[in-house]
């Protein structure tokens, strides 16, 4: 353990690098490393530096503010904004040399006007909606898409789409999407453009769809994206979340714990208060369901998780104030994975990674 504060997240930089290499071992194509949402909670600046050092050709973000953060910290890589940019933010996006996604002719026209105003050439990737129904030209809007090439101030650099069901054991939808994508590319005469459609699952499951570039996201941070029972890469989670024990109280049977008195001690026990809560991204739904690792033992969370603390049954652990509890990650031979916690909450690990709040410092080890 590297330090002790109220609570913190340790990010293993070697693991981030190893996970990137697992992608590189799977493809010979260019790699766009997704670092949106603060690199899925891992810290966008540091993660970007690691991925660029490992050979990423581009970085991917969701909005202009994320580009600004990277530029402010000296990241001069090519950065694609995969989402839509409001017209009011186009000036900043072009000034920051962001590569922009284009989902409509109207959007492209607005980019063209701003690029002309700044006397710059804006690089764009045309996005095609092949079945996600989120963003992009519809697959049949090829004539509109072709008009983007003629707009002044724009350089069309790439064309991309997004697979909606890559993790579905059935492959029909994915194959249909890929066919629609390739037909769109051919129709707009975009064979010479940088093409990309595969994110994490597609990278490992559909190598024939790698095109010219792939877009790894969750796999870089340690989640095996393959469907259950289909194997997958050897990845490790890079984030471990820890927090300090503030107090250990010996209480008699009948003592209630936490808001709403949802837990009552059935016998004399020790209750440890750990300084982390839902205000830090530890979901309240883990109340009376989740667990932490304390003094080499896995112990249950008892009572409702508070905004800034949670309580655990520390009976028999020998715990004392100042000890460190592992909320997620490994301690010795024990491990609480993000995937395990996500399954308990009926959600996905992406949400839990991104939920770790800003007041939790990221410590790079």
Q: Which of 38, 39, 153 has the alpha carbon at shortest distance from 91?
A: 153
User: With contact defined as beta carbons under 8 Å apart, do 222 and 250 qualify?
Assistant: no
Query: What is the DSSP code (8-state) at residue 302?
Result: E
* Alpha-carbon radius of gyration of the chain: 24
Closest to 352 measured CA to CA, from 226, 259, 240: 240
Residue 364 annotated as catalytic? no
Q: Pick the catalytic residue from 36, 40, 181, 278.
A: 36
Instruction: Give Cα separations from 226 to 78, 123, 126, 197, 208 (angstroms).
Output: 28, 33, 28, 16, 16
Nearest Cα to Cα of residue 270 among 311, 305, 215: 311
Is residue 200 within 8 Å of residue 27, measured between CB atoms?
Answer: no
Q: Which of 72, 120, 259, 320 is catalytic?
A: 259
H-type alpha helices, 188-292 = 200-205
The helix or strand, by DSSP H or E, that contains position 353, with its residue range, turns out to be: helix 349-355
CA 311 to CA 322: how far, in whole Å? Answer: 14
Instruction: Give dist(CA 292, CA 270) in Å, integer.
Output: 15
Residue 259 is a catalytic residue: yes
User: Any idea which residues carry the catalytic annotation?
Assistant: 36, 259
């Amino acid at each position: 353990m590297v330090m002790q504060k109220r609570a913190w997240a340790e990010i293993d930089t070697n693991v981030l690098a190893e996970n990137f290499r697992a992608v590189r071992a799977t493809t010979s194509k260019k790699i766009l490393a997704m670092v949106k949402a603060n690199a899925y909670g891992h810290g966008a600046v540091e993660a970007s530096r690691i991925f660029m050092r490992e050979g990423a050709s581009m970085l991917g973000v969701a909005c202009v503010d994320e580009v600004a953060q990277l530029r402010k910290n000296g990241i001069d890589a090519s950065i694609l904004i995969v989402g839509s940019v409001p017209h009011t933010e186009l000036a900043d996006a072009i000034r920051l040399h962001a590569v922009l996604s284009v989902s409509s002719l109207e959007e492209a026209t607005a980019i063209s006007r701003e690029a002309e105003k700044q006397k710059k050439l804006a690089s764009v990737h045309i996005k095609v909606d092949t079945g996600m129904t989120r963003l992009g030209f519809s697959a049949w809007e090829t004539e509109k898409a072709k008009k983007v090439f003629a707009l002044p101030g724009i350089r069309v650099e790439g064309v991309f789409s997004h697979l909606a069901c890559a993790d579905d054991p059935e492959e029909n939808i994915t194959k249909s999407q890929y066919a629609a994508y390739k037909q769109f590319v051919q129709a707009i005469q975009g064979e010479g453009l940088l093409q990309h459609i595969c994110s994490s699952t597609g990278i490992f499951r559909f190598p024939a769809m790698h095109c010219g570039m792939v877009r790894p996201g969750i796999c870089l941070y340690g989640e095996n994206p393959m469907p259950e029972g289909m194997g997958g890469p050897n990845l490790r989670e890079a984030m471990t979340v820890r927090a300090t024990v503030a107090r250990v109280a010996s209480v008699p049977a009948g003592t209630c714990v936490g808001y709403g008195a949802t837990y009552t001690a059935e016998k004399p026990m020790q209750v440890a208060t750990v300084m982390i809560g839902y205000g830090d991204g530890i979901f309240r739904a883990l109340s009376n369901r989740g667990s932490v690792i304390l003094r080499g033992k896995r112990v249950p969370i008892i009572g409702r998780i508070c905004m800034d603390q949670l309580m655990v049954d520390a009976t028999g652990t020998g715990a004392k104030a100042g000890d460190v509890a592992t909320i997620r990650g490994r301690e010795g031979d024990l491990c609480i994975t993000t995937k395990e916690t996500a399954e308990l909450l009926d959600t996905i690990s992406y949400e839990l990674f991104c939920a770790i709040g800003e007041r939790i410092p990221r410590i790079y080890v």
